[in-house]
Amino acid sequence: MEIVSKISRGTKMDQVYLPKIRNGMPPGSYVIIRPLNLQSKKQAPIFYKIKDLEPIKLSLIEQIFNLIDSKIEAKNIIITGSFLEKGFNFNDIDIVIIIDSELNEKQIKDELESQLKIKVHIITLSNKALARGISIDPIYQTMLSKYVSKKRLILNYEKKLHYKLLDLSLLKSHALIYSFELLNGKEKYNLTRNLITVSKYIKDMNVDKEKVDKEIEKTFNVKVDELKQNMVERQEFLKKFKLIYNETFKKILEGIKYESKQKQTN
C-alpha cells in the first residue's frame, strides 16, 4: 500500500497528513518517507456518493484497476452495485469498463475471479453507448447513482422517455407475478426494484438506488432487508405489485401510441 501526500510546513516540525480512509497503515505503524517522481503519481479513485468503504473493499478495487490496466487501455473503469453497500452481503462485483475497441470479456472475467476469488459481472460500453444509455434508461441511472471510478466520470445528458425500451425493462418484472414461490428474496427484491425504477422514471425521470429503496418500503410496507430475506406475505405483496405493474404498463402503452402518432405526423 502506498499513499501519496505532500509535506506541509508546521510551526515546529514539518508534517505529512494521511487520509483516514486507507487500506493498512494503522496508527502506530512505521513507514518510509521518500521523494516521489510526480510523473509516476497515481490518481486516487473517484468516490461518488460513498461516505465510507471497508479497507478490504478498497484493496479489492485497487487490484481490479491494476489488473484491468495491465491487460487493456480502458478509458475508464467503474465499480458499482451492491458491493459498495455497507457490509459484505453481495454476490459479485459489478464492473463497467468504458472502452471503444473490442474486448475479450471472458478472459478479463476469468483472470479477475482467479486472482480475487470473487465472482465479477463485467459490462463493456463505449462512451457514446454510456451517454445514450443514461439519457434514456432508468436502469443505467440507478446503476450509476453510486460508484467508484478510476477516472472522473463526466456525464452531460438530457433525460428522455423511450417507451419501447421501458416496455422491455418492465417485462423483466413480470416473472415475479407467476413465479413468486420459486424466487428467493434477492430475486424478488431485484424484480421489485426494477418495477419501481421504471414506474418512478415515467413519473419524474429522477431515480437513484436510495430513492427506489425508500419507495419500495413505502409502497409495500416492508423493509428492503426483509424483502431480500424473503420475509414477505405473498397475497398482500402480489396485490400491490400487480396494481403498480398494470398501471405502469398502461402508461407505457399510452406513450408508445403517442410516439407512433408523432412519427406519422412528422
Give the pLDDT confidence of 208-231 residue by residue, as tens digits. Answer: 888 999 999 999 999 999 999 999
Provide the pairing of β-strand 7-8 with 15-16. antiparallel
Q: Is the dihedral of CA 88, 94, 97, 102 positive or negative?
A: positive
Q: Which residue has the cell 496508527?
A: 27
Domain boundaries, the chain: 43-149, 163-257
Mean predicted confidence (pLDDT) in 168-175: 94
pLDDT at residue number 145: 87
Rounded Cα distance between 217 and 211, Å, is: 10
Pairwise CA distance, residues 178 & 156, whole Å: 40
Which CATH fold topology does 43-149 show? Beta Polymerase; domain 2 (3.30.460)
Distance separating alpha carbons of residues 73 and 69, to the nearest angstrom: 6
Residues 16-25: tens digit of each pLDDT: 888 877 777 8
pTM score: 0.74
Sole residue written with cell 510551526: 11
* C-alpha span between 259 and 139 (Å, rounded): 21
pLDDT of 134: 87
From residue 236, how far is each of 12, 21, 193, 239 by CA, in Å?
69, 44, 17, 5
- CB burial of 36-58 (b: ≥16 within 10 Å; e: otherwise) equals eeeeeeeeebebeebeebeeebb
Which residue type, as a one-letter code, is found at position 154? Answer: I
Model confidence pLDDT, tens digit, residues 75-128: 999 999 889 988 887 888 999 999 988 888 899 999 999 999 999 999 999 988
Question: Does residue 41 carry a pLDDT above 60?
Answer: no
Tell me what pLDDT residue 88 has: 84
